């Protein structure tokens, strides 16, 4: 499964870090290059894995001292609500640019899957970026 490989290999290294993640977030999005795709929303699944540096304050059980994963939802919804994309790659780059913006973020992996293209299975795009 691609998720496990990305989670352990693409952003893994020999240093200690923490990861916040969000998986299987489904959105209906108008995306595609073909005429038959335009104006017809498709189901896309989004998986985020964000490598973060944690301060010692993060372990005092105060949400104000950690990177709240809800920032991922806000980024995703803002980008897809305000743009139309032809390619998953372009959508992914726009999302990734925002995901990497907080100071605590060291790197991230994003997986975007089109769920309804194949009769069985899915197609998609993944990207990993480090700061």
What DSSP assignment string belongs to 63-75? Answer: GGGS--THHHHHH
Structural tokens at position 7:
């989670």
Query: pLDDT at position 58, please?
Result: 57
Query: pLDDT at position 23, please?
Result: 95
Nearest CA to 26 among 56, 52, 46? 46
Least confident of 50-59, 60-69, 95-104: 50-59
Structural domain boundaries in the chain: 2-130
Query: pLDDT at position 12, please?
Result: 52
Name the pLDDT band for 5 (thresholds 50, 70, 90).
low
Confidence (pTM): 0.84
Query: pLDDT at position 68, please?
Result: 85
81 near 13, Cβ under 8 Å? Answer: no
CATH fold of 2-130 reads GTP Cyclohydrolase I, domain 2 (3.30.1130)
Higher pLDDT, 31 or 12: 31
Query: pLDDT at position 99, please?
Result: 97
Query: pLDDT at position 115, please?
Result: 94
| pLDDT digit string, tens, across residues 77-123 | 999 999 999 999 999 999 999 999 999 899 999 999 999 888 888 99
Q: How many helices (H) and strands (E) does the chain have?
A: 3, 4
């Amino acid at each position: 499964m691609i998720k496990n490989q990305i989670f352990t290999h693409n952003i893994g290294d020999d240093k200690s870090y923490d990861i916040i993640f969000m998986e299987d977030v489904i959105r209906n999005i108008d995306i595609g290059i073909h005429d038959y795709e335009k104006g017809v929303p498709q189901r896309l699944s989004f998986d985020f894995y964000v490598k973060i540096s944690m301060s010692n304050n993060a372990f005092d059980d105060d949400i104000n001292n950690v990177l709240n994963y809800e920032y991922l939802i806000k980024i995703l919804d803002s980008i897809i609500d305000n743009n139309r994309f032809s390619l998953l790659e372009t959508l992914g780059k726009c999302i990734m640019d925002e995901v990497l913006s907080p100071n605590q973020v060291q790197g991230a992996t994003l997986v975007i899957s089109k769920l309804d293209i194949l009769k069985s299975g899915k197609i998609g795009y993944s990207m990993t970026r480090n700061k």
